[in-house]
Structure 1
Amino acid sequence: GLVRDRDTATPLAHLFLEHYPEVTENEIARIVQTASQRWPLAACTVIHRVGELAADEQIVLVLAASAHRKAAFAAAEFIMDYLKTEAPFWKKETFSDGLERWVEAKQSDTLAKEKWEEQT
């Protein structure tokens, strides 16, 4: 995943991600554990950056390995959808004109997560 400039009239200067390390890391581990219970994962790695990131910088990487690629792809998508809605990160955008605003949760991310709940 990348830091996206949301196509506003004023370019994004940077995105700042805040978190409480222990709380956030425990939640990421819980999400991966849940995915491991649904799909036969051989390995999984999640790297989520924090701090100040410029537009188009990498923000998150999810790697999932399984004997079957469909399981790995599904697990990675599940983990990404849950990271966006359940992992405790706070994102603040700063624009080139100095305006700052907190990023609100998107309804589309909630809907993406809910599709997995319907499949249980």
Structure 2
Amino acid sequence: MSATSTRPVDLARLAAGAVAVARPQWLIRATGSADGTWPRRVTRILGARYAVQSAGGMLVHERWVPEADGTIDLIHAVSMLGFARGFPRHRRLALSSGVVALGFAVVDLTERTRGPR
């Protein structure tokens, strides 16, 4: 992969973010969580974070980007554990979000380092 090509994980993150922003109810229903204004709002916010993070990954072609992305997603995954415990009605939604973030983190942190810039 060249230093300037788009990483597949950035495209996946963008897709996940787009779905979360445009159709949060799909994700909420898919996890069997209680739907409502608040869960949709939180899902959209997290989706927007994914979209912004993805755009950053596509625009900044530096060695440190995968590590930074992975760290951000690890923090997200851990925070979802706390969220699942604190909001039992949304446990499955939170844990699903955490698993997706953990998957992105694993991809980012195991990716070969980008070439020199």
Q: Same fold (TM over 0.5)?
A: no
Q: Which has the larger share of strand?
A: 1
Bigger CA radius of gyration: 1
**Which protein is richer in helix relative to its size?**
2
State TM-score, norm by structure 2.
0.36
